[in-house]
Structure 1
Amino acid sequence: MARDLREQVRDDGFAFVPGTDLRALLPLAPSDWEAFAASWADLDLDTHLPDGHRYRRRRHATLSARAGDTAARREPHQPHYQGLEYNKLVGGIERWFEPIHQHILEGPTFRGVLSFCLDFFGALRPDTAWHIECHQFRIEARADAEGLPTPEGIHRDGVDYVLVMLVGRANIASGTTTVHLPDGTTLGSFTLAAPFDSALVDDNRVMHGVTAVHPEDPARAAFRDVLVVTLRATR
């Protein structure tokens, strides 16, 4: 299965993976999942977005791995940076976010996902060392304000590879992930609807975005939780 997915990413620049398929590839400890998913309830508001954009919460961590590693090392906490060519909304500045909790980074679920990323993307770029950034995102939606999972629009992240994995969604409609050629041509779309549903993206070749989310029941809390892992080659 992993070989087929690699061929998709190699040939097409992306692959969408149902959660049941991804779980089969991960060395998971089911008992850890509850604590892992629950940590999304402890994210701080992203205050770097322009006024009026008060729907995104996040935490961030930076790691590194040598070629062939199956585990990564946490680096000292540092800002997230994207150039304006990748993020016209809030690019060109250092953005500091609260760190991902250490017990989440050390837990079996996170370590399993990261091990998968190193193995999967490492096979596409052998003998490569990686700068890795991990982001916990919660996008909230209200009746009077839709949530934008990608407020910067259809974009590249300025890295080599990206994993976008759904952790959970509650009381929301839409939130469809789309993949595009640099000229904007749509290559595919997939709604991350169940835990572990994922998109695997070659960021050098394609762009991606996510449609806005809306509450199904305006009287209840509505949110979409995802883990994003990016890998950038350092040599």
Structure 2
Amino acid sequence: MHESTDPEPATRIHDTLMRGQGFDFVDAATMRAWLETTGPLDDWEDFAGSWNRLATDSYLARLGKHRRRRHAVFSLDGVDTPVPAIRRQPHQPHYQTLDYNPLQGDIERWFEPVEDAVATSRSLGTILRHCQRFFGALAPRVARWHTEVHQFRIEARAGTPGLPTPEGRHRDGVDYVLVLLIDRENIASGTTSIHAPDGTEIGHFTLTRAFDAALVDDRRVFHGVTAVEALDPDAAAHRDVLVVTLRADDRADQPR
């Protein structure tokens, strides 16, 4: 972990780590500094408050498990584009093959869309712009990124832990992943583990403060998160995260 409020050197440090090991943890102070250098976060309170309005994941509910989520798709121009744009795409399903999601693969899952006010918020725009620049610098030949935004709330209830990754240790079937902690209330655990393709654990960390983040090269490593449990079983308990995934529209154009 690296503490820094000077975003440019920090970005170079984390870029080097991502290239070397395929993942990195970014502490809240560093991540917030990066984002504030990229764009405004002045509507963060409203942005974070939207997690209180997420819809139940009906697909997971059929399996006796629980979480809340919303979903949206964006197109991000590559960093070599003269004026890199970010465009929201029409609402569409989230799809993963069984190779990547043995629990719910090979089905089109239609989730409630990210609210328009959230999709056009300054905070989300800043996060997407940062992803465009940071991950784009790792693969500068990519002309366009298919980008999915997932709002997740994992709730822990009395006697029932919440499962941030009910599919277990997995890859998402994309190129890069940002996991950004939005809020964490009355919970224990929720530790992220990173694994080599052979299953060997090569790192672990826990997102505990708003803006703590995980950066993952999904082509190279697997990730998972342990269950969360309520510290006070009589009080509300949740873990809120924003997950942004980037997949090159032309995979053949990506350095490996």
What TM-score, normalized to structure 2?
0.89
**Contact (CA 8 Å) 2:191, 2:204: kept in 1 or not?**
yes
Residue 18 of structure 2: aligned partner: 9
Matched residues, percent identical? Answer: 57
Cross-structure match for 1:34: 45
Measure the CA separation in 1 of the matches of 2:105 and 2:236: 30
Q: Name the structure 1 match of 2:28.
A: 19
Taking only aligned residues, the RMSD between alpha carbons, in angstroms, comes to: 1.1
Q: Distance in 2 between matches of 1:155 and 1:51?
A: 18
Q: Which runs of 5+ in 2 are unaligned?
A: 1-9, 251-256
| Separation in structure 2 between the aligned mates of residue 173 and residue 185 of structure 1, nearest angstrom | 24
Map Cα deviations across residues 151-185 of structure 1 (whole Å, 9 max, x no partner).
00000000000000000010000001111101111
Match in the other structure for 2:7:
none
Give CA-to-partner distance per residue, 1:34-85, whole Å, 9 cap, x none: 101000000010011143102x000000011222264410000000000000
The letter of the residue matching 1:64 is S
Between the aligned partners of 1:118 and 1:85, the Cα distance in structure 2 is: 27
Aligned partners of 2:186 and 2:85: how far apart in 1? 35
Q: Read off the aligned partner of 2:148 and give its amino acid letter.
A: E
Aligned to 1:73: 87
Aligned residue among 178, 202, 206 for 1:187: 202
Do the aligned partners of 1:71 and 1:114 also contact (CA within 8 Å) in 2? no
> Per-residue displacement from partner, 1:101-149 (whole Å, max 9, x unpaired)?
1111211111111111000000000121100000000000012211000
- Where does residue 64 of structure 2 map in the other structure? 52
CA distance in 2, matches of 1:22, 1:112: 12
Q: 1:109 maps to which residue?
A: 123
Alignment check: 8 A CA contact 2:41 2:126 kept: no
Listed as ranges, the gaps of 5+ residues in structure 1 are none
Matched with 1:211 is: 226
Question: Shift of residue 205 of structure 1?
Answer: 0.2
- The equivalent of 1:88 in structure 2 is 102
Partner of 2:114: 100
Deviations 1:1-54 (A, max 9, x none): 111101101000001000110111113534311101000000010011143102
User: 1:157 — aligned with what?
Assistant: 172
Distance of 1:131 and 1:51 partners within structure 2: 29
Secondary structure (helix, strand or coil) at the match of 2:70 reads strand
Instruction: Identify which range, 155-164 or 124-133, moves more after superposition.
Output: 124-133
Contact 2:42 2:123 in 1 (8 A): no
Number of equivalences: 234
Q: Which of 42, 55, 75 is the matching residue for 1:64?
A: 75
Aligned mates of 2:32, 2:149 — CA distance in 1:
19
CA distance in 2, matches of 1:71, 1:150: 31
Q: Partners in 1 of 2:207 and 2:158 — Cα distance?
A: 21
Q: Distance in 2 between matches of 1:183 and 1:165?
A: 26
Task: Supply the distance in 1 between the matched residues of 2:138 and 2:181 (Cα, whole angstroms).
Answer: 23
**How do residues 125-164 of structure 1 correspond to structure 2 at under 5 angstroms?**
125-128=139-142, 129-164=144-179
- What TM-score results when the alignment is normalised by the length of structure 1? 0.97
